[in-house]
Amino acid sequence: MTHDEFRELLAAAALDSLEGEEARELAAHLDSCPTCPDELAELRLAAGWIGFDADPVAPPPALRDRVLAAVTASAPAPRAEPVRKPARVSRSATAFVGFALAAGIATLVVYTAGLKTRVHTIESQLEAERSLTRFLTAPDTATIMLAGTETTPKARVKLAYDRHTGRAILFGYDLPPPPQGKAYQMWFIAGGKPLPGRVFEPDATGRGWWSDEVPPEGRDASVFAVTLEPASGVAAPTGPMVLKSVSLS
Ligand SMILES: [Zn+2]
């Protein structure tokens, strides 16, 4: 077989659907060819992406059918072999090469669609992180640290909020799991009056982050606190204070 003939087998090899003599001959060719090993590695990577993708993106059925039809139609016809050489490209082998090629191209179509989804996800995450960084470093953003009281001495909550818009983010650390039916609730205490913030629950590691909005009257609050309340939240605090602000910046 020639280099080009081996190349046609690479897609099938990448999908582990090559057997017998063809597999052995390809293995021998891979030892001596300067380009086929790299091409096979790329095709294997493409096949692997689909295997590892939790949510593979299938090409539209019509597109897939068109690709399959086009490739099957253009599969090489059986050639007239030189007389001194036994014919090795049988009709079924040709059909197989066509199928393997079609499978390879279909694989790459799925791979490309999956890759676009992945790139889009990464771009979205990156944009979310940039937006968070802009928010945290903005001159109008105030940062408040809340420390745990005697009941939850290790707990910490960091509150960052925009003094003008009230847009806020809470970051929680070492928060014990609240009792059944209970949750933590944020309070902005202005002029001795507690204004309700959001209700939140940490994850299994005691951490979490939540968006919130500080009401206009609470943006100059001197005390920020967290109490333990019914999970649905309350308009005025009823439970014990578990965290309290320790510094302003
Ligand atoms: Zn080669």
pLDDT of residue 248: 45
Q: What's the gap in Å between 43 CA and the centre of ligand 1?
A: 14
pTM above 0.85, yes or no: no
Q: What's the gap in Å between 12 CA and the centre of ligand 1?
A: 14
Q: What's the gap in Å between 25 CA and the centre of ligand 1?
A: 11
Q: What's the gap in Å between 22 CA and the centre of ligand 1?
A: 14
Q: Is the pLDDT of residue 151 over 80?
A: yes
Predicted confidence (pLDDT) per residue in 28-56, tens digit: 999 999 999 988 887 777 666 544 443 44
Q: Is the pLDDT of residue 16 over 60?
A: yes
pLDDT of residue 249: 41
Q: What's the gap in Å between 2 CA and the centre of ligand 1?
A: 8
In Å, how far are 1, 194, 230, 234, 241 from 238, measured between CA atoms?
Answer: 83, 11, 9, 8, 9
Q: What's the gap in Å between 35 CA and the centre of ligand 1?
A: 6
Q: Measuring CA to CA, which residue among 171, 169, 170, 175 is closest to residue 148?
A: 175
Q: What's the gap in Å between 4 CA and the centre of ligand 1?
A: 7
Mean per-residue pLDDT over the chain, rounded: 81
In Å, how far are 48, 52, 164, 211, 241 from 115, measured between CA atoms?
Answer: 12, 12, 40, 31, 48
- Which of 47 and 103 is assigned the larger pLDDT? 103
Domains of the chain are: 3-117 (no CATH), 141-248 (2.60.40.200)
Q: What's the gap in Å between 29 CA and the centre of ligand 1?
A: 6
pLDDT of residue 86: 47
Q: Is the pLDDT of residue 58 over 60?
A: no
DSSP alpha helices (H): ranges in 1-90? 3-14, 20-32, 36-52, 61-73
Q: What's the gap in Å between 42 CA and the centre of ligand 1?
A: 14
Cα 84 to the chain's mean position, in Å? 57
Query: E strands along 100-148, which residues?
Result: 141-148
- Which of 103 and 209 is assigned the larger pLDDT? 209
Q: Which two tokens stand for residue 103?
A: 């499978």
Q: What's the gap in Å between 60 CA and the centre of ligand 1?
A: 33
Q: What's the gap in Å between 98 CA and the centre of ligand 1?
A: 18
Q: What's the gap in Å between 86 CA and the centre of ligand 1?
A: 22
Percent of all residues in the chain with a pLDDT value above 70, rounded to a whole number: 78
Average pLDDT over residues 49-67: 53
- Which of 245 and 221 is assigned the larger pLDDT? 245
Predicted confidence (pLDDT) per residue in 119-137, tens digit: 777 777 777 778 888 888 8
